[in-house]
Amino acid sequence: MQIKTDSITVATNGHGHVLDLTGEATHALDNSGLSEGHALLFVSGSTAALTTIEFEPGLIKDIGTALERLVPESIDYAHDATWGDGNGHSHIRASLLGPSLMIPFAKGRFLLGTWQQLILIDMDNRARNRSIVIQFTGV
C-alpha cells in the first residue's frame, strides 16, 4: 500500500465555470504507478466544488441554471452585507456540493461510467487559479 499526493492546477473564469478534470486526473493516475485503489480529489478554498457529470454543453448549461435557481446570486446574503465581496452565493453553492470527491480505480483505470467526467465548478464571482489536490491510495 502506498499514498501519493499530487495536484492539478487550472485557470478558471469563475461565475460557475465548469472544467473537465478527467484528462489531468488520468495523467496523474498514470504517473502514480498504482493499479488498484482510490483517488481523493479535494479543492482547497470555499467557493468551488467537485462532482461528476456527463460533460456536454447542454448539461453544463443546465447545472448553471439549477444552481442559479436554487441559490440565486441576486438575493441578499449576510456575508455580502459584512464583507462586500458579492460572492455569498458562491460560498453557499460550494458548501452544498462539497469540496471532496472519491474515485476508485482498478487495473490502472478509473471506474467511471462512459459518460461520466470529473468536474470542478468554480462558483466564485471572478477568475481564479485553482489547485486541486489529487491523492492516490492503493497498490
Residues making contact with a second copy (CB under 8 A): 1-3, 5, 36-38, 40, 42, 44-46, 51-54, 56-59, 61-63, 65-66, 70-71, 77-83, 88, 91-92, 94-104, 106, 111-113, 115-116, 133, 135, 137-139
**Antiparallel, parallel or unpaired: β 37-43 and 109-110:** unpaired
Are 122 and 43 in contact by the 8 Å Cβ rule? The answer is: no
Closest CA to 14 of 135, 137, 129, 128: 128
The amino acid that residue 8 corresponds to is I
Nearer to a second copy, 23 or 104 (CB): 104
Least Å distance, CB 22 to a second copy, is 12
Output the DSSP codes for 10-58.
EEE--TTEEEE-HHHHHHHHHHHT--SEEEEEEE-SSSEEEEEE--SHH
Instruction: Name which of 15 and 112 has its Cβ closer to a second copy.
Output: 112
Least distance to a second copy, CB of residue 33, Å:
15
Considering the complex, state which of residue 9 and residue 82 has its C-beta at the smaller distance from a second copy. Answer: 82
Residue 13 C-beta: closest distance to a second copy, Å: 19
